[in-house]
């Protein structure tokens, strides 16, 4: 059977962040690994180059040299809005714009076609879109838990995108919003923090029944949970969303990139995220952009687990990308 056009799977260097900052991998190592991890490269500004929010000429040379040497394709630059970066107040919209301008210019300088935005920057969207037009960039709000497809915030972002009416502004779904369960790694984090098994079981039950974060925190506190337990619950509700992959159809015209978030691979599959359903919907709606492998689990051989994630993704692509 003839295969339909389908999306491609690359790598986010966020996958290697712990190995990079602890000098296990150099930037050159990551670029070389990318050549066998789909060749599409996503970087995160403050994690992957010095001088952030500026992109220095030195880093431009380093990055472009690696792209040429290994035959790579820049896919997405991870920018930050950071409205809370000051100790005494939030950034004003004007200050946020000033902070984002060098990031967008740097992304264009490096050859990235897409810039990831945090939703905080929606207050300056029109100005950012105007700049993106000049720089020939697309911008995408990252839909990271708790920004599920069903959330009020995402509804607001969708309304804004449709109102502005520019193909320069879209959405970047993070697959952590498509969870079916909480990962073993995150449960073990609670145990290491001293959270008792009764509270761990309670948190799982609350999450599985769709309890809000506010109500879950209250329930855990009422059951005797201390600050450590509350912090752990807040983390869980910030990592695992309960969106239905079928709802990707509703934003099909606004997807400019995707983050292939995952926490583990067991027997060839991600046990806690609804990957097969997500891939099927992306193929069905005709998405032909990039998905960046993005690992956020426990310490492991990150290159090997990234390979396993891409093998899973490509297996599902082959399964569903048939005419």
Looking up tokens 């925190």, which residue turns up? 217
Instruction: Look at the alpha carbons of 104, 105, 106, 110 in this order and tell me if their dihedral is positive or negative.
Output: positive
Active site residues: 144
Beta strands 8-12 and 290-295: pairing type? parallel
Classify residue 127 as exposed, middle or buried by CB count within 10 Å of its CB (0-12, 13-18, 19+). Answer: middle
- Asked whether 294 and 259 are in contact (CB, 8 A), the reply is yes
Check residue 272 and report its DSSP letter: S
Whether the ω angle into residue 39 lies within 30 degrees of 0, i.e. cis, is: no
Q: Where are the alpha helices (DSSP H) in 1-55?
A: 17-21, 27-34, 45-48
CA dist 75 and 11 (Å) reads 9
Q: Give CA–CA dist 143/133, Å, rounded.
A: 22
Give dist(CA 250, CA 153) in Å, integer. 15
- Collapsing DSSP to helix, strand or coil, 219 comes out as helix
Residues 6+ away with beta carbon under 8 Å from 72: 31, 34, 35, 39, 40, 41, 66
8 Å CB contact between 123 and 153: no
Cis check: omega of the bond before 241, within 30 degrees of 0: no
Is the Cβ–Cβ distance between 184 and 152 less than 8 Å? no
What are phi and psi for residue 70, nearest 5 degrees? -105, 5
Q: What is the DSSP letter of 36?
A: T
- The two structure tokens encoding residue 24: 């296990």
């Amino acid at each position: 059977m003839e295969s339909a056009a389908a999306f491609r799977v690359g790598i986010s260097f966020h996958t290697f962040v712990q190995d990079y900052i602890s000098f296990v991998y150099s930037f050159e190592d990551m670029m070389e690994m990318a050549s066998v991890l789909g060749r599409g490269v996503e970087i995160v500004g403050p994690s992957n180059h010095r001088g952030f929010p500026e992109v220095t000429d030195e880093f431009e040379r380093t990055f472009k040299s690696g792209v040429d040497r290994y035959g790579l394709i820049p896919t997405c630059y991870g920018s930050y809005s950071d409205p809370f970066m000051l100790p005494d107040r939030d950034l004003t919209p004007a200050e946020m714009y000033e902070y984002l301008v060098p990031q967008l210019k740097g992304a264009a300088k490096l050859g990235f076609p897409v810039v990831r935005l945090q939703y905080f920057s929606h207050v300056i969207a029109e100005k950012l879109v105007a700049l993106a037009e000049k720089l020939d960039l697309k911008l995408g709000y990252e839909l990271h838990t708790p920004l599920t497809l069903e959330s009020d915030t995402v509804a607001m972002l969708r309304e804004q995108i449709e109102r502005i009416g520019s193909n320069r502004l879209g959405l970047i779904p993070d697959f952590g919003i498509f969870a079916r369960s909480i990962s073993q790694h995150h449960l073990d984090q609670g145990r290491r923090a001293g959270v008792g098994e009764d509270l761990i079981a309670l948190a799982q039950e609350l999450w599985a029944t769709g309890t809000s974060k506010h109500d879950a925190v209250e329930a855990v506190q009422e059951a005797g949970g201390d600050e450590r337990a509350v912090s752990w619950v807040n983390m869980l509700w910030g990592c695992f969303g309960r969106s239905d992959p079928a709802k990707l159809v509703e934003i099909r015209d606004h997807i400019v990139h995707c983050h292939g978030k995952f926490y583990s691979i067991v027997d060839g599959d991600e046990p806690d995220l609804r990957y097969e359903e997500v891939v099927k919907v992306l193929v069905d709606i005709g998405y032909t952009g990039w998905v960046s492998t993005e690992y956020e689990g426990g310490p492991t051989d990150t290159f090997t687990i990234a390979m396993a994630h891409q093998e899973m993704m490509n297996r599902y692509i082959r399964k569903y990308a048939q005419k």
